[in-house]
Structure formats: structure tokens, C-alpha cells
């Protein structure tokens, strides 16, 4: 265990020492913030003003802000954990694995060191986004999440971070150069916002596309995070009698609920899918990593 801890700290130190890597791991989140600050946020506010004429402007802005930061948090759980595995790619490209193999550290320890560092980076950076989001909401005059809601967000961040660390650990075993890793990171950072329904609400897409997206674990993570993130804001914009239909419509449109065909994706199903991703890709990733470390 001591060796695993040392390897994990070594990987974390190498990642955080590279400020460019840290910055680019957050680039997708920063781009999404910029897009909504410049024009996409206003489009959502205008749309909600038409759908909810009885809601106040402040409550509608609160709703949009929480939806945006829930999506940003989901994106960060994947992009930062993947970025942390740049250490693995560099170790492979530079032949450092040969140095590890003459040490008393077992291959399983090396594998766990990479996985744990990816997981820790994902959780730490995602929780940083949560803090930034809550401070932003507070500066706009809206309430923050309750302690129970924050605890739920932390739990979903940890589960998502673990699942995507395992998934990323498997994917990077097929890369042999820093250039290939940079290309993969660019593609993932660009596409993940669409797959999670973070760039635009899923309700604006054709039903067939929505079914495909909702079948993927990325949409499940986003749905789980939006629940506690947006609960108070949803209550505020739909306050009043006879709003059950409005709540259901908004939940479907903005991805607080999800379904594939006639099958509703519950919290249990979504979390079960993420656990399955974690177990499956942790096993595959460990197998692939141990084969690469020679």
C-alpha cells in the first residue's frame, strides 16, 4: 500500500506541476462558461421567459445558471481524469516503465497508482468547479445548494470520476505518443458536451438522437448531477398551483429526467450503469495496463 501511495503522489505531482496540462483539462468547461456568458445563456433565459411567464427574471436566471454548472461539472469529471493519465502516456513513450520494472513495485501497484491519481484529479477538479459555481450563483443573488444537496453532488462526482477514470485508463492503453493523447483529449473535450446535453438542452434534439444520448453513461452522470444542483431553482420557477406538467416538461427538456424509448432512466439505473462502467473498464484497463508495463 505504501508503494501505491508513493506512485499516486508521484503521478499527482507530475500532473499538477504541468500548468498547461491542468489548464487544458479545464478547457472544455471554460469554453462552455464563455459560450453561456456571451450568448447561449441569454437564449435559454428568453426561452424560459416564454414558457414560464409567471416566473421572475431572477428565478429563471438561477435555473439557467444551475443547469449550466451541472453540465460543466459533469464534463470536468471526464476531461480532468483523462488529462491526469498524460503521465501514463509519457511514462510509456519515454520508457520509464523499464525503470519501474527493476523496482520491487508490482504491476498491480503501478496500475492502481495511475488509476487512483486519475480519480483524485477528477474529483478534486470537479469539486473546484462546484465551489466556483456556487460562488457564482451566490454573487448573482440566488441561494446555494443545501448541505444535503452538496453531499449528493459530491457522491455523484465521486461515482462519475471513478467510472470515467476506469474508462480513460482503458482507452489510453491504445496510445503510444503524446501527440495521439493530445488528439484524443481534443476530441473528447469537444464531443463530451454534446453527449451530456450540456451545450444545448436535449429537448431541442430529435427524439431518435435523444434516445441514443440517453443510453450513454455521460447523460446518466449529467442527469444525476442536475437533480441536486437544480432542485431549488426548479421549485422556484414552477412555484404555484397546477405546475406538475410544467415540472415534467422542463425536466425532460433540460435533462433532469431521461428515458430510452418507453424505459425511464431512474437514479438507480443511472448509478448502476456507472458502477458497471467502473467495474468493466477497471478490469479491462488493469489488464491492458499490465500488458503495456513491460
Q: Is the pTM of this model over 0.85?
A: yes
pLDDT at 24: 83
CA 256 to chain centre: 15
pLDDT in tens, 252-289: 999 999 999 889 999 999 999 999 999 999 899 888 87
pLDDT at 104: 62
Q: Which backbone phi and psi does 205 adopt, to 5 degrees?
A: -95, 160
Reported as a pLDDT band with limits 50, 70 and 90, residue 211 is: very high
Q: What is the rounded distance in angstroms from the CA atom of residue 233 to the CA atom of residue 64?
A: 9
- Helices 178-195 and 57-84 cross at an angle (nearest 10°) of 150
Beta bridge partners of 265: 258
Q: What is the mean pLDDT of residues 140-162?
A: 95
Q: What is the mean pLDDT of residues 190-194?
A: 89
pLDDT at 19: 87
Q: What is the rounded distance in angstroms from the CA atom of residue 59 to the CA atom of residue 45?
A: 10
Is the per-residue pLDDT at 241 higher than 60? Answer: no
CA distances (Å), 248 to each of 8, 63, 119, 267, in order?
44, 15, 34, 16
Beta bridge partners of 263: 260
Helix (H, G, I), strand (E, B) or coil at 263: strand
Q: What total of structural domains would you count in the chain?
A: 1
pLDDT at 238: 85
pLDDT in tens, 97-123: 666 666 666 767 777 888 999 999 999
Residue of 3, 189, 236 lying closest to 103 (CA atoms): 3
pLDDT in tens, 74-88: 999 999 999 999 998
Q: What is the rounded distance in angstroms from the CA atom of residue 212 to the CA atom of residue 16?
A: 36
| Domain carrying residue 217 | 2-292
Reported as a pLDDT band with limits 50, 70 and 90, residue 240 is: low
pLDDT at 110: 77
Residue with C-alpha cell 431541442? 204
CA 197 to chain centre: 11
Q: Average pLDDT of the chain?
A: 88
Is the per-residue pLDDT at 224 higher than 90? Answer: yes
Q: What is the mean pLDDT of residues 10-16?
A: 91
Amino acid at each position: 500500500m505504501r508503494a501505491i501511495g508513493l506512485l499516486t503522489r508521484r503521478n499527482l505531482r507530475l500532473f499538477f506541476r504541468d500548468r498547461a496540462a491542468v489548464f487544458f483539462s479545464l478547457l472544455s468547461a471554460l469554453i462552455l462558461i464563455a459560450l453561456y456568458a456571451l450568448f447561449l445563456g441569454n437564449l435559454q433565459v428568453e426561452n424560459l421567459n416564454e414558457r414560464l411567464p409567471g416566473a421572475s427574471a431572477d428565478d429563471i436566471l438561477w435555473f439557467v445558471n444551475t443547469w449550466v454548472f451541472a453540465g460543466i461539472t459533469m464534463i470536468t469529471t471526464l476531461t480532468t481524469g483523462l488529462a491526469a493519465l498524460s503521465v501514463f502516456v509519457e511514462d510509456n513513450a519515454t520508457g520509464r516503465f523499464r525503470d519501474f520494472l527493476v523496482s520491487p513495485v508490482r504491476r498491480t501497484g503501478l496500475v492502481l497508482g495511475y488509476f487512483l491519481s486519475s480519480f483524485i484529479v477528477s474529483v478534486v477538479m470537479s469539486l473546484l468547479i462546484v465551489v466556483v459555481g456556487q460562488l457564482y450563483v451566490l454573487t448573482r443573488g440566488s441561494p446555494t445548494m443545501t448541505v444535503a444537496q452538496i453531499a449528493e453532488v459530491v457522491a455523484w462526482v465521486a461515482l462519475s470520476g471513478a467510472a470515467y477514470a476506469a474508462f480513460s485508463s482503458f482507452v489510453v492503453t491504445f496510445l503510444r505518443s503524446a501527440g495521439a493523447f493530445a488528439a484524443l483529449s481534443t476530441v473528447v473535450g469537444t464531443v463530451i458536451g454534446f453527449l451530456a446535453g450540456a451545450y444545448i438542452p436535449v429537448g431541442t434534439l430529435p427524439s431518435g438522437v435523444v434516445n441514443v444520448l440517453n443510453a450513454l453513461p455521460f447523460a446518466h452522470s449529467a442527469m444525476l448531477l442536475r437533480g441536486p444542483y437544480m432542485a431549488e431553482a426548479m421549485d422556484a420557477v414552477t412555484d404555484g398551483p397546477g405546475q406538475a406538467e410544467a415540472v415534467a416538461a422542463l425536466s425532460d427538456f433540460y435533462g433532469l429526467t431521461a428515458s430510452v424509448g418507453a424505459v425511464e432512466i431512474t437514479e438507480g439505473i443511472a448509478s448502476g450503469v456507472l458502477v458497471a462502467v467502473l467495474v468493466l473498464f477497471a478490469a479491462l484497463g488493469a489488464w491492458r495496463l499490465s500488458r503495456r508495463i513491460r
